[in-house]
């Protein structure tokens, strides 16, 4: 059925028509269910299992819309990927865990579309999905605006349901007014939360949920656009400032510069050589930790850029190996510098993140060496480096960073109560244990907030674990 006056592109998958996708439910009903669940599970709670449950509901809606079109093995893999992506959110709903949940949904959608197992195709679908989803939403809205007046579809639905629903609502109101028992039952069934009210912020939240969910329900219509093969990029013009001669000269000069810094670090940091008078190891460490990390990143980028100009020259390739190896040594020295600085001035969130980032950069440089030795394309390194970064972020999402920072500071000779007491609720057990050992209060303004969930929608594994640890410490104090 083609609606008269509607372009063929818009009419071939009219989602509001009776004969569109006959084997599957209409996406509009699933959209309503997803938005209602989002209001109850996400808006009415402050984060926890409610967010996880809503993501699973959206994934289930995608599975229903693609029922019978996805092999069982790929469907099982999609659910497995989503469960792994939701583990950080089960632990604690925060920005990082929400990002992983979103990536899990994108991966789930990609596995619902791709015809064969292909990592490159899955990543391509995930990358294109946001733009394609927005375009599909615009196409669907335009199709509805153009086709509905001509077909009279919405008018017919209104005429068919206006009298039954309108008069039926009047009868329900009268029956409730006449029977207090029915009134009590209805109040219990419709009381999802105390103080339910429709505000501008809540309506805006519904609109955001509609925009987010709708593309996931239109996978069948978006499949062709998402799976189309990208045109091959023309080869880049290899000329200008970066050429064979400039790369060879740069490698010689860079190795000489890095050798000076490497010898200084080997002497002062590793060999125990005394620093000049008036300079402390903390000052030496703080001065070089972050600049050397930036140097390592720049060196890695130049190493990737210079590889096409090496050709078969063994001497240049050896210089590049030596330079990257020196860069790895610089990163290890940066880690040692930061460790020395933390021993004196304590650990903070930023310094913890710097530790993680330095380790990731060092491992990335090792991957770069492996890529050069095996002489595989740069894309091999890029894919594995991105995976390394994702794994690092995933592990950090499962770590109670504030608790670790608080314990490190409270076990050091110099305690900074102002900083420790300004951390999140993850630091509460460490603060309670310190006060138990010292016998004196640490936080004059009280502990950081560690509230209990109101119901299952706000439950989180980390919050439950922290409250159990705090209860055990308080029980020891009472005994």
DSSP structural state of residue 270: I
pLDDT digits (tens, 9 = 90+) for 199-256: 678 888 888 999 899 999 888 888 777 776 555 454 454 445 667 778 888 888 888 8
- Same domain for 443 and 376: no
Q: Where are the alpha helices (DSSP H) in 114-152?
A: 119-151
Among 227, 258, 287, which residue terminates a domain?
Answer: 227
pLDDT confidence band for 295 (50 / 70 / 90): confident
- Same domain for 220 and 277: no
- Percent of the chain residues past pLDDT 70, beyond the cut: 76
- Same domain for 301 and 181: no
Burial of 365 (0-12, 13-18, 19+ CB in 10 A): buried
8-40 exposure pattern, b = at least 16 Cβ within 10 A, e = fewer: eebbebbbbeeebeeebeebeebbebbbebbbb
Structural domain includes residue 411: yes
Q: Which of 356, 411, 382 is nearest to 303 (CA)?
A: 382
Q: What is the pLDDT of residue 11?
A: 45
Angle at CA 118, nearest 5°, toward 117 and 122?
105
CA pseudo-torsion sign 201, 206, 212, 215: negative
Structural domain includes residue 206: yes
8 A C-beta contact, residue 304 and residue 369: no
pLDDT confidence band for 6 (50 / 70 / 90): very low
- Same domain for 271 and 357: yes
- Same domain for 411 and 370: no
Is pLDDT above 60 for 98? yes
Task: Taking each helix axis as running N to C, give the angle between helix 349-374 and helix 281-306, from 0 to 180 degrees, rounded to the nearest 10.
Answer: 30
Q: What is the pLDDT of residue 389?
A: 92
Among 327, 354, 389, which residue terminates a domain?
Answer: 389
Is pLDDT above 90 for 84? yes
Is pLDDT above 90 for 59? yes
Structural domain includes residue 146: yes
Burial of 129 (0-12, 13-18, 19+ CB in 10 A): buried
pLDDT digits (tens, 9 = 90+) for 13-58: 454 443 344 444 578 888 889 999 998 888 877 778 999 999 999 9
Which domain range does residue 353 map to? 244-389
- Same domain for 180 and 214: yes
Structural domain includes residue 3: no
- Tokens 């899955």 -> residue: 122
- Same domain for 66 and 198: yes
- Same domain for 253 and 144: no
pTM for this entry: 0.79
Q: Calculate mean pLDDT across residues 305-314.
A: 76
Q: What is the pLDDT of residue 113?
A: 87
Task: Taking each helix axis as running N to C, give the angle between helix 95-113 and helix 49-65, from 0 to 180 degrees, rounded to the nearest 10.
Answer: 10
Q: Where are the alpha helices (DSSP H) in 179-313?
A: 180-190, 200-213, 219-227, 244-265, 281-306
Q: Which of 387, 383, 385 is nearest to 395 (CA)?
A: 387
8 A C-beta contact, residue 263 and residue 315: no
The answer to which of 65-74, 83-92, 243-252, 378-387 has the lowest mean pLDDT is: 243-252
- Same domain for 294 and 374: yes
Q: What is the pLDDT of residue 161?
A: 64
Domain count, the chain: 3
Contacts of 451 (CB under 8 A, 6+ apart): 425
Q: Calculate mean pLDDT across residues 281-306.
A: 73
8 A C-beta contact, residue 72 and residue 35: no
Structural domain includes residue 396: no
The answer to which of 142-151, 334-343, 373-382, 386-395 has the lowest mean pLDDT is: 142-151
Structural domain includes residue 459: yes
- Same domain for 252 and 136: no
Half-sphere exposure of 237 (CA within 13 A, CB side): 3
CA 358 to mean position of chain CA atoms:
20
pLDDT digits (tens, 9 = 90+) for 179-200: 666 666 666 555 544 555 666 7
Question: Both ends of the chain: CA-CA distance in Å?
Answer: 78
Is pLDDT above 70 for 431? yes
- In degrees and rounded to multiples of 5, residue 257 shows phi and psi of -65, -45
- Same domain for 134 and 77: yes
Structural domain includes residue 238: no
Half-sphere exposure of 408 (CA within 13 A, CB side): 18
How many other β-carbons are positioned within 10 Å of the β-carbon of residue 451?
A: 10
- Same domain for 309 and 202: no
Among 389, 421, 438, which residue terminates a domain?
Answer: 389
Structural domain includes residue 423: yes
> What is the rounded CA–CA span in Å between residue 333 and residue 266?
8
Tokens coding 262: 């490497």
Q: Calculate mean pLDDT across residues 441-450.
A: 79
């Amino acid at each position: 059925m083609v609606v008269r006056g509607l372009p063929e592109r818009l009419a071939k998958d009219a989602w509001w028509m009776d004969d569109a996708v006959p084997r599957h439910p209409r996406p509009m009903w699933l959209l309503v269910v997803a938005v209602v669940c989002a209001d109850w599970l996400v808006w009415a709670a402050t984060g926890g299992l409610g967010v996880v449950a809503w993501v699973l509901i959206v994934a289930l809606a995608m599975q229903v819309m693609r029922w019978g079109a996805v092999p069982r093995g790929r469907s099982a893999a999609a659910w497995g990927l989503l469960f792994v992506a939701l583990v950080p959110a089960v632990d604690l709903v925060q920005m990082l865990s929400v990002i992983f949940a979103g990536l899990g949904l994108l991966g789930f959608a990609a596995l619902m579309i791709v015809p064969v197992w292909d990592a490159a195709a899955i990543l391509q679908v995930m990358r294109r999905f946001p733009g394609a989803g927005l375009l599909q939403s615009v196409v669907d809205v335009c199709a509805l605006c153009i086709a509905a007046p001509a077909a009279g579809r919405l008018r017919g639905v209104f005429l068919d349901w206006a009298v039954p629903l309108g008069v039926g609502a009047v009868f329900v109101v009268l029956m409730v007014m006449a029977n207090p028992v029915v009134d009590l039952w209805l109040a219990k069934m419709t009381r999802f939360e105390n103080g339910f009210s429709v505000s501008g912020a809540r309506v805006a939240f519904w609109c955001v949920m509609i925009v987010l969910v709708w593309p996931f329900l239109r996978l069948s219509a978006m499949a062709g656009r998402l799976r189309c093969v990208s045109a091959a990029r023309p080869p880049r013009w290899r000329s200008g400032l970066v050429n064979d001669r400039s790369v060879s000269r740069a490698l010689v000069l860079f190795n000489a510069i890095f050798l000076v810094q490497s010898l200084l670090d080997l002497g002062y940091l590793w060999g125990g050589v005394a620093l000049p008078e008036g300079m402390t190891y903390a000052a030496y460490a703080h001065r070089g930790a972050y600049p050397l990390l930036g140097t390592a990143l720049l060196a890695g980028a130049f190493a990737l850029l210079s590889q096409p100009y090496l050709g078969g020259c063994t001497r240049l390739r050896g210089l590049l190996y030596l330079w990257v190896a020196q860069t790895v040594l610089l990163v290890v020295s940066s880690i040692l510098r930061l460790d020395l600085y933390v021993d004196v001035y304590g650990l903070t969130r930023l310094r913890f993140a710097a530790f993680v980032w330095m380790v990731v950069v060092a491992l990335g440089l090792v991957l770069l060496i492996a890529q050069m030795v095996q002489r595989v394309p740069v894309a091999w390194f890029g894919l594995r480096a991105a995976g390394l970064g994702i794994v690092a972020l995933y592990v950090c999402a499962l770590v109670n960073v504030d608790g670790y920072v608080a314990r490190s500071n409270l076990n050091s000779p110099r305690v900074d109560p102002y900083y420790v007491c300004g951390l999140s609720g993850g630091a509460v057990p460490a603060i309670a244990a310190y006060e138990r050992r010292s016998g004196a209060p640490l936080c004059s303004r009280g502990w950081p907030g560690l509230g209990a969930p109101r119901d299952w929608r706000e439950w989180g594994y980390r919050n439950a674990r922290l409250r159990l640890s705090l209860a055990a410490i308080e029980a020891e104090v009472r005994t």
